[in-house]
A = this chain, B = another copy of it.
Amino acid sequence: MDAVSDREQRVLDIIETARSKRAKFRDERITMAHGAGGKATQALIEGLLVPAFASPALDGLADAGIVRVGELGLALTTDSFVVRPLRFPGGSIGDLAVNGTVNDLSVAGARPLVLSLSLILEEGLPAETLRAEVAAIAAAARAAGVEVITGDTKVVERGHADELYICTTGIGVLDERASLSPAAPRPGDRILLSGRVGDHGTAIMLARGEFELDAEVASDTRSLWPAVDALLDAAGPSLRCLRDATRGGVASVLNELARAADVAMLVREADVPVDPAVAGAAEILGIDPLHIANEGTLVAVVAPEAADAALAALRAAGGRGDFAQAAEIGTCHGAPGGMVLLETAFGGKRVMDMLVGDPLPRIC
């Protein structure tokens, strides 16, 4: 990459050295940071979970595992949802449980097919709360075109859960148009974003009443399959990879991809669509909107020759709300490999790393 000063390069070298080591898990106890999607989560996953299973499917650390059965390629993905509060502007835990799983399949290039639903209920949960979430799950599944075909219910005593936890697992069928890999991005590739960043995390934060802000922000929870379908149609094999920017936000996703592909990613801050209310909330919290979780926003890396067509297709895609605010936000470069740099509105550059934890726990 051009225009990295000597001083910047020295900082990059130090960070690079630290990051090239495989994450280790050395903590004696689990902390909230281990569930926040940042570096602590990565250390838990790479340092403890993945080595235990010695499964090639897990090595990619993707959002879905792939299994081949005869001629067929299937994607399997699972997520537990522990969001607090259960309901928030734009959605609820039931919506997230469906869309989160549908989206993990979608960004794996798999058309979502069926879901399983496992509930952990806290003793004393009002039946009306359960009824409302079951209705939300059914509605979200209909909207996403998937069927819930099996389930399980457990109840734990008061004080051993927080009303309701949901685990959804989904099967998708790998789309023949897709040849996606987190290692695929190359220098010159363009980085697309399907919409605004930070709406979901901000909506949750406001719903918790944790600070005063006279703003209305709704979660972006929705199925991303219409966006993925449009991108696959427009770009086919030129679509390098897709990621759903949930916990840890766009910044975490880009860092994971930059590392996996050993490319540098340069993001132009001015081109990232952010709602003014979200920008304001982020400012107050002292975090970057690119670190705030989304539940219906994806990052796509596309070969340069297909980028314009892909962006146009994305903007025209249907689905809940739409993807009209999709934008090209940056490009891939050869060096410094594994790093994400933000070109600020003032023309400077700074490293945009993953956070260790997340200032907003339990957002999904």
Contact = CB atoms under 8 A, between A and B. Distances in A.
Contacts of A118: 78-80, 167, 169
A114 interface: yes
Assembly stoichiometry (copies):
2
A164 B154 CA distance: 14
A49 interface: yes
Interface string A140-176: 0100000111111111110111100101010101000
Q: Is the interface of A mostly helix, strand, loop or mixed?
A: mixed
Interface residues of A, number: 83
Nearest to A33: B155
Given A58-B151, A74-B171, A150-B65, A80 B119 contact: yes
A351 interface: no
A356 interface: no
Contacts of A124: 29-31
A209 B151 CA distance: 32
A111 to B, nearest CB: 10
A178 B347 CA distance: 67
Nearest to A159: B159
A239 interface: no
Contacts of A34: 121, 153, 155
A3 interface: no
Contact of A67 (B113, B117, B138, B155): B113
B167 A55 contact: no
Given A69-B173, A78-B116, A52 B135 contact: yes
A362 interface: yes
Nearest to A116: B78
A44 interface: yes
A321 interface: no
A176 to B, nearest CB: 13
Contacts of A74: 69, 74, 171
A116 to B, nearest CB: 4
29 contacts: A28-B126, A28-B127, A29-B124, A30-B121, A30-B123, A30-B130, A30-B155, A31-B123, A31-B124, A31-B155, A34-B153, A45-B151, A48-B127, A48-B130, A49-B134, A52-B135, A55-B149, A58-B148, A58-B149, A62-B150, A63-B150, A66-B149, A67-B113, A67-B114, A67-B149, A69-B173, A116-B169, A167-B169, A169-B169
Given A44-B153, A69-B72, 5 more contacts: A29-B125, A48-B131, A49-B134, A53-B148, A76-B171
